[in-house]
Structure 1
Amino acid sequence: MALLKLTKPLPRSDKHISLAKLPVIPPKAGLKCLVGGWGQMFDGGPRTAKLLYIDVTLISAKECDKQLNVKEIDFLCAIDPDPFTHQNPCIGDLGAPLMHDDVVYGIVSLLMGCGKGDWPSVYVDVYASVKWIEGKIISNGGTTLSVPIKMEFFTGSFLLFVIIYKICVN
């Protein structure tokens, strides 16, 4: 995970630009989320020319361990529960956000199946890093907001993704 420090603030009056929110509570299994991206539309297929998204549902660490046979889960896992689609992030989607109501709960980190089978997709758990993120913001001359939902979070190319996502959705 990386944070970007902008030299100039983004215009907050632009309807196409919105800052992602940090989670204030850990996500729970069953939470329905969106994952957007410009990755391949299916394994070995072409990349999309426009932003696409998939619907996924978070599963428990125990269920993820059972399906992926891993003993330590420091990540979030999600699956498309629709047996007809079984969508997962594909090549080109790494770093894309796992979002629910403009809150970023995860970042695509491991590609499993690219839409094949019942494999869960794996995400960096943003909530687990909130204190680190806030510490970096403060130590680099920023301050965190005193409102319940902090809005000062950007990771890698994620800033550009959120801006473009808002433009495409609105």
Structure 2
Amino acid sequence: MKKALVLLASAVAMSGAFAQQASAPAAAPSGTAASAPAAKAGHERNVEDRIAYLHSQLKITPEQEPQWKAFADVMRGNGQTMGELFKERRAATNLSALDDMKQYATIAQAHADGVKKLVDAFDPLYNSFSPEQKKLADTTFHREGGAEGGRRHHGKGKSGKAAPAPASDATVKP
């Protein structure tokens, strides 16, 4: 069960990672009508790409499809929630330090809520896995450093030195 929780925490990291990836295209031509739909489409494509990758990597069987669908739907919902919160964060200008902290707290709480939902959805799926699939899941999530490809944030990196604190809206990472 502990491994499943670690796996799920890694997987929910996707939600924030996808939202952060979507922020780059949207931030470029600020104020253009086409930039928001393009960013949303890119974000949704990233979520769907990740879902398809995991489906293939974990060798989901037809019998596991109902559990998989529930898990994938939670991933989509989490990605949508985080994407909207990051969009609001990018749009907010001239925030006071207090308002900025409140906004960060909202995002962090949404992330925590998303992790819980993902754990709840992944538990029955993981428990339906064959020993080979469990090993694939454990390796897939561990090897990739979760969903963010091993990026380091908050805390100590491989060198043992504290990692620098992020300085933008990309600070919200699991």
TM-score under structure 2 length normalisation: 0.28
Kindly indicate whether structure 1 or structure 2 has the higher relative contact order, using CA contacts under 8 Å at least 6 residues apart. 2
TM-score under structure 1 length normalisation: 0.29
Name whichever structure is richer in strand by fraction: 1
Name whichever structure is richer in helix by fraction: 2
Report the structure number with the largest CA radius of gyration.
Answer: 2
